[in-house]
Structure formats: C-alpha cells, structure tokens
C-alpha cells in the first residue's frame, strides 16, 4: 500500500512539473519556429533585446519584421511576459479571427500581405516537457517552440 502511494505521488509530481513559467530572461534567447499549413515562421530573440521574424510561405514568398523586445517581469503583470514592438502573424492561424473580429478598433491588427501586423504583442514564456515555448494565445495550439540557441 505504501509503495503504491509513493508511485502515485511521484507520477503526480512529474505531471505538475511538465509545464512551468520561465522567470529568467536569458532562458528565452534563441531561435523559435512555428508551423502552419501555409507558412513556417522563424523568430530570433537575441540577448541585446533585438529580434527578427521571418514568415516563409509555401508559395515561396516571405515577409520580415525586426525590432526591439522587452522582458516584463511578474511585478508588472503578475506573470512574466516577453513583448515585441511589432509582430506579424499569418492570417490563417486559428485564433486570428478573434483578433480581427474584435469590436474594439484599437485591438485590430493591420493586414500586410499574408499576415496581420500588431503594434505590440506580448507572449508568456513557458517550459513544457523540456521545451521553451512562447505562447501567443493560451487557447490555441499555435505557438513558437525554441529550436536552437543563438550564437552570442
């Protein structure tokens, strides 16, 4: 009986540790990737607080944006956020309809080519099963997954 309880506690603790918030800034530096049926997007987050984003469409075209990003700690939001100055997201991503149909005009993104451009987009950095992830929308499976560290 005691042995079974120990295994149950171990299994529960492994489940609880599968996803955790990232609270140290240098753990978000790196190259991220997000794939959709129509595009592959790369996001490079650098230690000097610059970033570049490139969307490669399956038809061969691409769109690029770059700028500065900020680390906003839990004191400001209650949880850590990584905020990008200007950010593009392909139109076909599943959660885009919610943003575009928003009644508040100040929340609507600009349509540029095959993407929507946001003036500022903040993401929640998390570690999930050992992978670093930037979640764009917690209700969506669309998210950036870190594929490599960037050279310093």
Give per-residue pLDDT as tens, 118-143. Answer: 788 888 899 998 899 998 766 667 78
Task: Report CA torsion sign: 46, 27, 123, 148.
Answer: positive
7 or 147, higher pLDDT:
147
Give per-residue pLDDT as tens, 32-51. Answer: 999 888 889 999 999 999 99
Rounded-to-integer distance, Cα 81 and Cα 101, Å: 25
pLDDT at 116 over 60: yes
Which pLDDT band, with edges at 50, 70 and 90, does 20 fall under? confident
* Domain coordinates in residue numbering, the chain: 20-148
- The Cβ of residue 107 has, within 10 Å, a number of other Cβ atoms equal to 11
Q: What CATH number belongs to 20-148?
A: 2.40.128.50
124 or 18, higher pLDDT:
124
Greatest C-alpha distance within the chain: 62
């Amino acid at each position: 009986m005691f042995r079974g309880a120990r295994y149950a506690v171990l299994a529960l603790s492994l489940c609880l540790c599968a996803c955790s918030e990232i609270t140290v800034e240098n753990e978000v530096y790196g190259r991220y990737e997000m794939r959709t049926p129509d595009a592959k997007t790369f996001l490079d987050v650098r230690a000097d607080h610059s970033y570049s984003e490139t969307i490669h469409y399956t038809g061969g075209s691409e769109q690029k944006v770059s700028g500065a990003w900020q680390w906003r700690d839990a004191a400001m939001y209650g949880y850590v956020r990584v905020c990008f100055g200007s950010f593009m997201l392909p139109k076909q991503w599943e959660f885009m309809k919610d943003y575009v149909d928003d009644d508040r005009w100040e929340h609507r993104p600009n349509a540029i080519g095959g993407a929507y451009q946001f003036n500022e987009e903040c993401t929640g950095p998390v570690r999930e099963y050992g992978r670093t992830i930037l979640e764009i929308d917690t209700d969506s499976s669309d998210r950036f997954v870190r594929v490599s560290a960037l050279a310093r």
